[in-house]
Amino acid sequence: MTTKVTVQELYSDIIADLQPFYDDAVLLPNPQLIQTQFNISGTSGNQINVPLTNGPATDAGTVGEGNSILAGGTSDFDPTSADIVMVKRGVGTNVTEEALEDGGLAVVRQAVLTRLSQGLAAATDDAGFTAMKSGFAATDYGVGGANSAFTTNFVFSPEAMAYGAKREPSVTMFYDNDLDLHQFRGTVRNGFVALRSGFGARVTSEKVIGAQTAANLTNIAKAVAALRSGNAPTMLSGMYAAIIDSSLEYSIASQLNSVTQAAIGDLSVVGNRAILTGLIGQAAGCEFYRSNSLPDAS
């Protein structure tokens, strides 16, 4: 028979380990992919106002002796802002007393951690990709599909997005004596916003692997060229991040023969398993990451 002390120990272990498991599963809130990050845990308010300025001057010119400097070109800051709204995301799992008695605490602990951390991580990534889809420049460099048969893939600069966290992953537990089960509920509060629409690009591609209307490396190269023409900063590797689905991965691999054997960046600076398992190579100025959480094009 399990005891209250045993269940409490299980609960304590899950609380202690949820954050590392979450960090290991989530893809986007990684400083390699999103450089601008905020943590406002313990403060008041549910919104972050991120100040922005316009780009550097591109209209400087020659100034004659004794003439106004501004005659050569004006470069005002023209400040604007972008807002990150904190949204609660939650997931839960129930564990019967029989599962604790028969399955063992180690098995139950691993199962609960996996469900809670992966659920919160997926919800976080979904929110980030949704913000990318609505916040990046209107031009689509893919095949132009606009329904649920197509996926929206992304090529972006590490300065394209901002991420904010209000509540780190946390878990509560309740016991339902009528059903004789323990309820574990995990939550996180965070949000994303696109800072500069021109620092990210959308590339739609058909979802079906090997489809005739799948995008390919040419579409990715066009997106990269658009970012370079807009002076979008790259990662330390000199590359942009490209997050793609398995269909576009296959299409690109078919062009390159084996994209999985292409050179990749320094994995010592990569922060979590989601990055490690998602990183599939480099080509056309991008580091490619695979994700199954990308939104469709509808």
Per residue in 273-285, pLDDT tens? 787 778 878 888 9
Q: Of 53-57, 172-176, 191-195, which gets the smallest average pLDDT?
A: 53-57
Structural element, H or E, at residue 15: helix 4-25
Give every CB contact of residue 138 below 8 A, 6+ residues apart in sequence: 197
Q: What is the mean pLDDT of residues 76-94?
A: 87
Q: How far apart are CA 127 and CA 133, in angstroms?
A: 10
Question: Which residue from 60, 58, 52 is spatially nearest to 77, judged by alpha carbons?
Answer: 52
Write out 204-268 in H/E/C secondary structure: EEECCCCCCCCCCHHHHHHHHHHHHHCCCCCCCCCCEEEEECHHHHHHHHHHHCCHHHCCCCCHH
Cα end-to-end distance, the chain, whole Å: 52
Question: Which residue from 188, 36, 68 is spatially nearest to 116, judged by alpha carbons?
Answer: 188
Q: Tokens representing 17?
A: 């380990």
Q: How far apart are CA 39 and CA 190, in angstroms?
A: 9
The pLDDT score that the predictor gives to residue 259 is 46
Question: Residue 127, Cβ neighbours under 10 Å: how many?
Answer: 18
Confidence of residue 183 (pLDDT cuts 50, 70, 90): very high
Do the beta carbons of residue 169 and residue 19 sit within 8 Å? yes
Do the beta carbons of residue 218 and residue 184 sit within 8 Å? no
- Summarize pLDDT for 237-290 with one digit per residue, the tens: 899 999 999 999 999 888 876 544 455 555 555 567 787 778 878 888 999 999
What is the three-class DSSP state of 58?
coil
Q: How far apart are CA 298 and CA 295, in angstroms?
A: 8
- Summarize pLDDT for 26-35 with one digit per residue, the tens: 999 998 899 9
- Summarize pLDDT for 3-17 with one digit per residue, the tens: 565 888 899 999 999
The pLDDT score that the predictor gives to residue 8 is 86
Residue 91 has pLDDT above 60, yes or no: yes
Do the beta carbons of residue 186 and residue 169 sit within 8 Å? yes
- Summarize pLDDT for 107-164 with one digit per residue, the tens: 899 999 999 999 999 999 999 999 999 999 999 999 988 889 999 999 999 999 999 9
Give every CB contact of residue 248 below 8 A, 6+ residues apart in sequence: 151, 153, 203, 205, 214, 215, 216
Give every CB contact of residue 82 below 8 A, 6+ residues apart in sequence: 49, 50, 52, 162, 193, 194, 195
> Residue 70 corresponds to which amino acid?
L
Counting beta carbons within 10 angstroms of the beta carbon of residue 229, is it exposed (0 to 12), middle (13 to 18) or buried (19 or more)? exposed
The rounded mean pLDDT for the chain is 87
Q: Tokens representing 233?
A: 């900063």
Do the beta carbons of residue 188 and residue 124 sit within 8 Å? yes
Confidence of residue 207 (pLDDT cuts 50, 70, 90): very high
Residue 1 has pLDDT above 50, yes or no: no
- Summarize pLDDT for 29-58 with one digit per residue, the tens: 998 899 999 999 989 889 999 888 766 555
The pLDDT score that the predictor gives to residue 60 is 67
Q: What is the mean pLDDT of residues 155-177?
A: 95
Q: CA 62, 232, 55 angle in degrees (round to 5)?
A: 45
> Residue 84 corresponds to which amino acid?
I
Q: Are strands 161-176 and 286-290 parallel, antiparallel or unpaired?
A: unpaired
The pLDDT score that the predictor gives to residue 36 is 94
The pLDDT score that the predictor gives to residue 123 is 97
Q: How far apart are CA 105 and CA 103, in angstroms?
A: 7
